[in-house]
Amino acid sequence: MNTGPHDTTDVEFASALGQLAGQGQSMAALAQDRADHPALPDLATEVQQRAQDIDTMHAWLRDWDQPSTPVPTGTDPGILTSEDIQALSAQRGGEFEDAWLEHMASNYTAAIAWCQRELDQGVNPQARDLATRWLTAMNHELDSVQQWHSEWGLHPQSAPASMPAQPAPSTTSTGPQSGAPRSDDSPHMTETTHQQDAPHPGDGLHASEAQHQDGAGHLDDNRP
């Protein structure tokens, strides 16, 4: 029984986290016989051990005379559609792992947000205790899922480190250049020197782009 004080945040927390946890249970069951890496079924077993918490949250809603209101798909990025679950069920091996890790990462991220909101605004002691426990577990498991997805996934979430930027050809003269003709050079020498020093239209394009990007791929606002 949970007859302690509660507010709207507690009700929404129990309803939304219960739904997210239920979908986590469904995905955990799929991982038991579809994944290649043994770490995924092991994680799925840990997820399944929290099934009792779902019953607890549903019981709270009954204690508070509140319905368990499903979170509409599309309003919370962690909530999967029936099509998502169906597509995941049809996959095996590496393809399954890639999709499973993506969906689980979204599920964890949404659950973490609801737990943090409960701790920030909720008043029910039992709900806050559950949020604290889940927050610790979700953060730990999310780290594992993101690492595995980066290592095994077909579409890694974490972008690889950028290659060191190569110096781009200078297009602005800042002083005498070694290739610049001297005043006593002949016109023929001047034309030859310019032809040798002028960059090909395609030269340096990628290096220039790399020079003006930071490690995350954002444009440098101080580019020339």
What are the CA-CA distances from residue 151 to residues 41, 100, 138 (Å)? 17, 14, 20
pLDDT tens column, 138-162: 999 999 999 999 988 665 444 333 3
Domain assignment present for residue 3? The answer is: no
Residues 106 and 208 in one domain: no
Can you say whether residue 217 is alpha, beta or left, with left for phi > 0 and alpha for psi between -120 and 50 degrees? left
Same-domain pairing of 143 and 189: no
Q: 3-state class of 149 per DSSP?
A: helix
Q: Residue 193 belongs to what domain range?
A: 162-169+176-224
Asked if residue 211 and residue 123 are part of one domain, the reply reads: no
Let me know whether 111 and 214 are in one domain. no
**More confident position, 216 or 65:** 65
Same domain membership, residue 20 and residue 55: yes
Return the CATH number at 15: 1.20.1260.10
Are 147 and 57 part of one and the same domain? yes
For residue range 86-129, what is the model confidence (pLDDT) as tens digits?
A: 999 999 999 999 999 999 999 999 999 999 999 999 999 999 99
pLDDT (tens digit, 9 = 90+) per residue, 20-65? Answer: 999 999 999 999 999 999 999 999 999 999 999 999 999 999 999 9
